Amino acid sequence: MPYLKLTTNIAIDKEPSAKLLSQFSQLLAKETGKPERYVMVELTGDKDMLFGGSNEALAFVECKSIGLSAQQAKSLSAAISQLLASNLQLPAERVYIEFSNCAANLWGWNGSTFG
């Protein structure tokens, strides 16, 4: 049920994209304590985007999970920023991250919900 969507204006080749998706999937499973088999990660690159009036490298990340705590969000923010810096040379000040704690009864899967 953890879901991470990364949207960036950086063009990312197939191989680095697959590596980054895998790293985010493992990170999300670890930080939320959920099995990786429930983790979904999406990456969209080469988008037309502006941040602070500039089209320099940037990213917007949506991170959602059932039971996501404020402490987990803080830890994830640091870890996500580190991954983006090391993989895409993207400075943390050019990244917004939106965290959502979703109710189990409002998260559908396998023809039902988790709650």
Please give the average per-residue pLDDT across 80-105, as a whole number. 97
In total, how many domains does the chain have?
A: 1
| Catalytic-residue membership of 35 | no
For residue 62, give the CATH number of its domain.
3.30.429.10
Other Cβ atoms within 10 Å of 10 Cβ, number: 18
Least confident of 10-14, 65-69, 91-95, 100-104: 10-14
Q: What is the pLDDT of residue 15?
A: 85
Which helix (H) or strand (E) element contains residue 20? helix 14-32
Residue 6: how many CB atoms within 10 A of its CB? 26
Q: What are phi and psi of 64, to 5 degrees?
A: -130, 145
Range of the domain at 35: 3-113
Dihedral (C-alpha) 11, 13, 14, 19: value to the nearest 10 degrees?
-90
Looking at residue 56, what DSSP letter applies? S
114: confidence class by pLDDT, cuts 50, 70, 90: very high
Q: What gap in Å lies between CA 71 and CA 77, rounded to an integer?
A: 10
